[in-house]
């Protein structure tokens, strides 16, 4: 499923983000940039040790922010490591932190002059964010960003399983401009 906002295509796909060919893939990293399970582990496995070597040099990244490394062996040239919040009930600023993880990733991509990037469902795995709310925040943040950043041509949301895809598709239909 895809929509066009101004000059940017926002697209949903079900699949493995390590197979993306966009200029950058976004990693759902932890604040120590230490690697881990889930999409983080998959990106480091597929991209090879060069990515971790760069992460070690950077040292860490606060929740809600993002840093960039090269993509190692991935087809994507860059990895943007975004740190989403751990969901603890919703009263601890989680929504704002999730939005800023997406915003900072998008800003970083534009600063680097990139035309396309792919997001996983940040915070929707081990970090426990309720899927519908996370999808709504992720998509509305991308739609808003696209309205003022035509140079970013393609934003993909690569959802690992059918259930996550279906929830994102449902939320995208709700906010379609």
Which residues form the interface with ligand ADP (CB under 6 A)? Answer: 16-18, 28, 38-40, 42, 84, 120-127, 158, 160-161, 164
C-beta of 97 vs 108, nearer to ligand ADP: 97
The CB-of-177 to ligand ADP minimum distance in angstroms stands at: 25
Q: Tokens in use for 128? A: 């426990």
Tell me which of 13, 23, 40, 166 is the catalytic residue: 40
How many CA atoms are closer than 13 Å to the CA of 57, on its beta-carbon side? 10
Q: How far is the CB of 112 from ligand ADP (least distance, A)?
A: 22
CA dist., res. 3 & res. 128, Å (int): 27
Pick 66 or 149: Cβ nearer ligand ADP: 66
Residue 40 known to be catalytic: yes
Q: Are 40 and 27 in contact (CB under 8 A)?
A: yes
Report which of 94, 131, 116, 88 is spatially closest to residue 9, judged by C-alpha positions.
Answer: 116
The residues, any chain, with a CB within 8 Å of residue 57's CB and separated by 6 or more, are none
Question: Whose Cβ is closer to ligand ADP: residue 23's or residue 40's?
Answer: 40
- Smallest separation, CB 121 to ligand ADP (Å): 4
Closest CA to 19 of 82, 81, 74, 80: 74
Active-site residue set: 40
């Amino acid at each position: 499923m895809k929509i066009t906002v101004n000059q940017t295509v926002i697209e949903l796909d079900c699949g493995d983000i390590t197979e993306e060919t966009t200029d950058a893939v976004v990693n759902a990293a932890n604040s120590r940039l230490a690697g881990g399970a889930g999409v983080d582990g998959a990106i480091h496995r597929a991209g090879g040790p060069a990515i971790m070597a760069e992460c070690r040099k950077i040292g860490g990244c606060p929740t809600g922010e993002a840093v960039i490394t090269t993509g190692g062996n991935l087809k994507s040239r860059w990895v943007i490591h975004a740190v989403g919040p751990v969901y603890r009930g919703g009263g601890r600023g989680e929504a704002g932190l999730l939005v800023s993880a997406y915003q900072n990733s998008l800003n970083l991509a534009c600063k680097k002059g990139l035309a396309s990037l792919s997001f996983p469902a940040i915070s929707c795995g081990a970090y426990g964010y309720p899927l519908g709310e996370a999808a709504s925040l992720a998509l509305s943040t991308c739609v808003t960003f696209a309205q003022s950043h035509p140079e970013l041509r393609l934003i993909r949301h690569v959802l690992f399983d059918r259930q996550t895809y279906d929830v994102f598709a449902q939320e995208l239909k709700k906010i379609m401009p």
